[in-house]
Amino acid sequence: MLLGIDTSGAVSTAVMGGDLDAPDAAVRHVRSDARARHHDEVLLALVDGVMQDAGASRAGLTGVVVGRGPGPFTGLRVGLVAARSIAAVLGIPLHGVCSLDALAHQALAEADGADGVAGNARDLPERTVAVALDARRREVYHARYRRLADGTVRRESGPAVAPPADVAAELTACGLLVGSGTRLYPDLLPATSELVDADASHLIEVAALLHAQGEDLTSTDPLYLRDPDAAKPTSRKSALGR
């Protein structure tokens, strides 16, 4: 049984049956909390809750998949530390995935479902997907993807961070556009669906697909893309104000 954790935006946890070589999507439980700046307060409770939903204990986990972001500095670190700790205590593999990849995967699954396309169809419709997440500072984290007819999904650009006006043309050129950034800048980035943040169950599915393609998922380094808001002082200040 696999545990997924993503704190790139909302806090999302998921449990899926099987292991990374053969995930069982029929066993899928998800819990999320969309409140801002509550990651450290709610994450472990969500993990316990989703494990209870699955009728399983942490001892039954075969691996942990964690979202590497991009995302806010503090919130992203909460998810990564929790995932690393759980994997280390249980002695199970830990896999890192770009959170934008999970949201793109979810957008594709939603579009296929709306069109009545079976998930295991041999000839899938080619689709392009753009993801834009709120990066604060009047910017968005963004990436673009293309799915070919054989089901292969390629990330064509990103992840990167930029003002929405600078990337609006390339993102809106895609057939699908999702993410929390579309709610903040609807005129520049009109959404094609209500998807806002990554669902941790899709994080697990992306990890399984990349694993099957031979991708190395061992890195869980955060994708901050820019320096944190808090900066070290460049010089000492006198206690006397001089």
Give residue-wise pLDDT tens across range 58-85.
Answer: 889 999 999 999 988 888 999 999 999 9
**Tokens 């809106």 identify what position?**
172
Rounded CA gap, 192 and 194, in Å?
7
Query: Are the CB atoms for 15 and 1 separated by under 8 Å?
Result: yes
Residue 135: other Cβ atoms inside 10 A: 23
pLDDT grade for 230, boundaries at 50, 70 and 90: very low
Q: Answer whether residue 213 shows pLDDT above 80.
A: yes
What confidence tens digit (pLDDT) does each residue in 121-177 have?
A: 567 889 999 999 999 999 999 999 999 988 889 999 999 999 999 999 999 999 999
What is the structure's pLDDT at 35?
73
Query: Are the CB atoms for 102 and 131 separated by under 8 Å?
Result: no
Cα distances from 153 to residues 209, 210, 225, in angstroms, run 9, 10, 23
What integer is the mean pLDDT of 29-43?
80
Mean pLDDT of the chain, nearest integer: 89
Domains of the chain: 2-98+200-212 (3.30.420.40), 100-184 (3.30.420.200)
Biggest CA pair distance of the chain: 73
What integer is the mean pLDDT of 214-240?
71
What is the structure's pLDDT at 228?
55
What is the structure's pLDDT at 188?
98
